[in-house]
Structures are given as C-alpha cells and as structure tokens.
Amino acid sequence: MQNSRTKLLQLSDADLLKLCEVSAYKGSGPGGQHRNKTSTGVKLNLEVTNHENPLIKKIMVQTFSCDDRSAHVNKLLALKKLRMKIALQIREKPATQTPFSFPGSNGKISPDNALYPQFIADILDRLDNFDEAAKIWGLSKSALNKIMLQDKKVMEAFQKHRQCQAEKTRQTACQSTANQQEPHPHCHTAEQDPASRPN
C-alpha cells in the first residue's frame, strides 16, 4: 500500500497508528517529581509516498511526545503532531474540488479541528494561486490570510514554498537565457568570473 498523504490524513487514529513504527522512551530534562520516571514517551516514524518529487519518492516523518504521564495520551498527542507534519511537509497536486466544505465557521478554524490538517494541506497545495485557494474554500483572501497567520508552522511552510517558487523561477530564467547564449544577471558563469579567464 502506498502511503499517500491524502489517504493518510483521512485515516482514523487507530489505523494511522498501525502504519507507524512506534517506540517508547523516557522523558528527559527538568521537571522534578513531575517528570516521567518510566518510558511513557512515544516516538512515531512513518514513511510517506511523495508524488510531487520523483527524485525523493519516500519521506520519513517523525514525531515525539512525552507531555503526559500516560503512554496512551502521548500516542494521541504524537499522532496529532504527525498529522500536521504530514500536512506541512508533503505536497500533492490539488484536486479540482475541495474534499469537503470549509470545516470552520465565520471564516475561522481552530487548529484543534479534526479536519484542520487536511484543510491546511489542501491550502498549501494551492499556494501558486492564493486568490483561487481562498475562493475555492469560500473564504475571502483576508480570512485565509488570518488563518495562516495564526499558526507559526503554517506560515513557515508558506514562506518556504514562496522561496522555492522564487528559486524555480530564477532557475528557469537562467536556463532560458543560457539557451539564448546570453548570461542572466543572477547566473554565475565561468565567463562572468574574471578569475576563471585564462591569463
């Protein structure tokens, strides 16, 4: 079975956990008598199929939790973190329609909403056209922008995407001008480097 992002985010906690490599560990650091003395911390490893980059076909996603004294609770917390990591790290080609209607209300959605990871994953897939992403979910651009601003990790993913897109645009421009045998101002070539010229 290929662990595609869309399928993984639709799984129940129990089914998602079955696909993970689960290991226990003892929490470390300050905490005194409140610090776990037994190995109730949980680490999850999950291999996810990456459809958007043929050079990196599999991505290993890992999360930890030792926030609670209960191993069961820590598993649930680790699964919640895992869902968000999958949503933030794995990109897929956006569907022509959204998988469900906007799961929030009045243009707002809580990160604790069960459908939040799937919603964020779809939005990040559509960032090449922010206006269209807002429109397809029935949101104003202002409302969508506020949703993204409320979550630091989502904003980091958004900024990383913008940087990657800018780099792709620059590389395309460099390739285009190279084909025309005209150096692009941002391309570093041997002919532009005086040190590379023969004496």
| 3-state SS track over 175-196 | HHHHHCCCCCCCCCCHHHCHHH
Helices 152-179 + 141-149 axis angle, to 10: 110
> How is residue 112 annotated by DSSP?
T
199: exposed, middle or buried (C-beta count within 10 Å: 0-12, 13-18, 19+)? exposed
pLDDT > 90 fraction of the chain, expressed in percent and rounded: 52
| pLDDT the model gives residue 192 | 43
Domain ranges, ordered by start, for the chain: 1-82, 94-185
Going by pLDDT thresholds of 50, 70 and 90, the confidence category of residue 179 is: low
Which class is domain 1-82?
Answer: alpha beta
> How is residue 67 annotated by DSSP?
S
pLDDT tens-digit series, residues 6-16? 999 999 999 99
Q: Find the mean pLDDT for residues 79-105.
A: 93
Both structure tokens of 153:
């990790």
What is the phi-psi region of residue 106: left when phi exceeds 0, alpha when psi lies from -120 to 50, beta otherwise? left
Both structure tokens of 45:
């490893």
Nearest residue to 67 via CA among 43, 45, 41, 44: 41
Q: Find the mean pLDDT for residues 114-131.
A: 94
* H-helix or E-strand spanning residue 44: strand 41-49
